[in-house]
Structure 1
């Protein structure tokens, strides 16, 4: 349990009705005035969930807007992410906290297309598996207008965090991500 959680539950700090959720977010060197946090319980052991997430090459498999992540060294990576209107934004990120099976925190380096920082916590939930709590602080490009445009195009981080965590859960629990869309093979079989 997070020591700063006065409520003794798995809720992310941004959902608290009492206390100082922004201060309790645990994000070092917080970059960004907007903060979003989401949590999901994944029915897998914490070591497996952490290991999959910590390999940044895996993140585009369930993060819908992440085009690619290039690992620059053990602590730095380069992110290319879809933005509204068919554009992309890029930044370099540095890991600020990395505790095996517990937490990964990062901050964007100066010059980022979207200044951001965040923290993902992994908590052993016993027979239920692992509770994953993702907290992200960011500055939307073009301020509030940019945030509104991102929301209209379903690219706003609060919307994406919820969807990405749901896909992460599906992928680790079932080995695939459920979708209403047909993949190419299904489409070809239907036409046959």
Structure 2
């Protein structure tokens, strides 16, 4: 492994995925106590990230699956999931046993949010991959996939700190819709969707 590529891959991954830490912490807090929660979140995160990598690699070779103008509209995915989560939280507001009523995200939901949140990553990865060649792309992909495990561990770590866990347990059912809606709006606005 080329240490120059390794360093660049670490910096590129961290810079383009820092916002995922909050989303992962909320997912882990929401799923606390549910059997198989870590596996579900990890599989969804890896699935969404693998799609990001596949699109980036294909685009680096000249195939474009998404026109540049379509990327900002990926913000509609977390926005819709956030609205859905808000409606579910509102419907359950009177549940006496809110803890048991809460359900964590499914693998596909995590994957969709990961892909939508990482849609702008594609723009950063394509030029790097295009100049790195096949060997370099492989090295970047391997480093990214290893770092994703660290990202998952960090998200779980933050969600299990006593103060954070208490806050997320109390407010997580509200925080998840807020984070998803905010993420969706941020993607739409930063991308200039709808002339915003």
Q: TM-score, normalised by structure 2?
A: 0.24
The structure with the largest helix share of the pair is: 2
> Relative contact order (C-alpha < 8 Å, sep 6+): which is higher?
2
Higher fraction of strand: 1
What's the TM-score, normalizing by structure 1?
A: 0.24
